[in-house]
Amino acid sequence: MDTGAGTGREAGAGPSDAVEAAAGTAAAAGERPYDVVLFGATGFVGELTAEYLAGHAPAECRWALAGRNRTALAALRDRLAERWPHCAGLPLVVADADDPDSLRDLAESTRVVATTVGPYVWYGDGLVAACAEAGTDCVDLTGEAEFVDLTYVRHDARARETGARIVHACGFDSVPHDLGVYFTVQQLPEGVPLRVDGFVRAGAAFSGGTFASALTALGRGREILRAAHERHLHEPRLVGRRARAPLGGPRFSTETGTWALPLPTLDPQIVARSAAGLERYGPDFRYRHYASVKTLPMALGGAAAVGAGVAAAQLPSVRGWLMERYSAGEGPSAERRARSWFSVRFVGEGGGRRVFTEVSGGDPGYDETAKMLAESALCLAFDPLPKTAGQVTTAVAMGDALTERLRAAGIRFRVAHRG
């Protein structure tokens, strides 16, 4: 996921006056000036996230808007203040993804950073490095497996030392799937092998930033494999348990009455890492991830479209032409988003029991993603959570607390059937 916020260097970019003044006051009190800073606030999803925080952050939450352009940040603050007058004095933090000093100052000024600046493989590593060094929690919207693997290799060890929690994929990638499997597992017996299949359906449009992120990932197959191999060399082996997310084959799902196409996205990797980190998933856990399609012609057409996208992304000239067709920072209208929806159905089995569950909500890529990112940041900042550090998943870091937050915010977690 990418908001199209961009990262080009601005003249005079650096820590804002708000950071410097607040930092001086906070230093005297021995605390950081902010609880949450939203980096990339002027991008498409960034602005939606800012609106969500404006309407839902608790009164005691000290939060700020961050980005590379002070003028754009001030204009966003003015728009927020028109609807939420208490936002008129919202602090502004100037930081640039290409300026390590500004990222260090940003990380040191807050307890949690929520970033929407992508594609993350190009623009995300510096912020993760700064947060790992400063002991600052960081949440993002990435769906880029290469980025997740690279930051694990580069920054997990330091984050563990400082206590920073680096939680990737806190939007539609991969919260409904990670927490949906977590919710499903809780409905099944403990201490037995478990099998869960997830079936994803959605009706939604996308933004230019999301399109750029998808094309970037599709065009970096070799780099993705290289990063995965390097992580495999560094990651500790699971002893006495198994947690797997194999790529299933296309099939007709009798459980959902739809055609199931394997989805080679980041989501199943996140689920498998949650299973590795939590013994509740049992001694032998397997997850398979599918797109759920109603008819065979639609399934064949979807597979052909994915194949064409992969082929096109390998050609730099074609990839550049496609990116130009969609402007970064632009996205679907409020009316289009209001008609959008998603549903992820899960079938879980183990210990002689079977359960059907569902996670569902509204517009997945933007409105609900902004909600998930904001609630993840607030959860890390304010909720009592298990003691974790390093690169962790939403289920491992926030499990029950984030699930309850999202339920209260209108995302549905339900048990459809038990057997």
Q: Which residue has the higher pLDDT, 2 or 161?
A: 161
Residues 6 or more apart whose Cβ sits within 8 Å of residue 378: 36, 53, 56, 57, 58, 61, 405
Q: What is the pLDDT of residues 326-376, one digit of tens each?
A: 545 567 888 888 889 999 999 999 999 999 999 999 999 899 999 999 999
The CA distance from 131 to 139, in Å, is 10
- Across the range 3-25, mean pLDDT stands at 40
Assigned domain for 5 exists: no
The CA distance from 282 to 276, in Å, is 9
The CA distance from 192 to 258, in Å, is 29
Minimal CA–CA distance to 378: which of 52, 87, 148? 52
The CA distance from 85 to 77, in Å, is 10
**For residue 11, pLDDT beyond 80:** no
Beta strands 258-262; 165-167: pairing state: unpaired
DSSP designation for 171: B
Q: Which residue has the higher pLDDT, 143 or 323?
A: 143
The rounded mean pLDDT for the chain is: 86
Predicted model pTM: 0.86
Q: Which residue has the higher pLDDT, 247 or 131?
A: 131
Vertex 270, ends 264 and 275: CA angle to 5°? 120
Minimal CA–CA distance to 138: which of 397, 369, 408, 404? 397
Assigned domain for 252 exists: yes
Assigned domain for 96 exists: no
Assigned domain for 117 exists: no
In angstroms, the Cα distances linking 308 to 123, 302, 303 are 27, 10, 9
Half-sphere exposure of 204 (CA within 13 A, CB side): 24
The CA distance from 275 to 170, in Å, is 17
Domain span at residue 316 reads 175-228+240-363+412-418
Q: Do residues 380 and 156 make contact, with C-beta atoms less than 8 angstroms apart?
A: no
Strand partners, 292: 260
The confidence score (pLDDT) of residue 217 equals 60
In angstroms, the Cα distances linking 136 to 172, 199, 341 are 23, 35, 33
Half-sphere exposure of 406 (CA within 13 A, CB side): 34
Assigned domain for 217 exists: yes
In angstroms, the Cα distances linking 310 to 64, 102, 182, 212, 219 are 38, 36, 31, 13, 7
pLDDT interval class at 316 (50, 70, 90): low
Strand partners, 242: 284
The confidence score (pLDDT) of residue 199 equals 96
Q: Which residue has the higher pLDDT, 151 or 215?
A: 151
Burial-class residue 131 by CB neighbours within 10 Å (0-12, 13-18, 19+): buried
Minimal CA–CA distance to 201: which of 228, 180, 224? 180
Q: Residue 155, SS3? A: helix
Hey, what are 28's tokens?
């005297």
The confidence score (pLDDT) of residue 264 equals 86
CA dihedral 274, 128, 74, 14 (to 10 degrees): 170
Assigned domain for 388 exists: no
Assigned domain for 161 exists: no
- The tally of domains found in the chain comes to 1
Q: State the first-to-last Cα distance of the chain, in angstroms, to the nearest integer.
A: 37
**For residue 299, pLDDT beyond 70:** no
Q: Do residues 335 and 362 make contact, with C-beta atoms less than 8 angstroms apart?
A: no
Assigned domain for 358 exists: yes
Q: What is the pLDDT of residues 177-223, one digit of tens each?
A: 999 999 999 999 999 999 999 999 988 665 444 455 555 666 678 89
The confidence score (pLDDT) of residue 84 equals 98
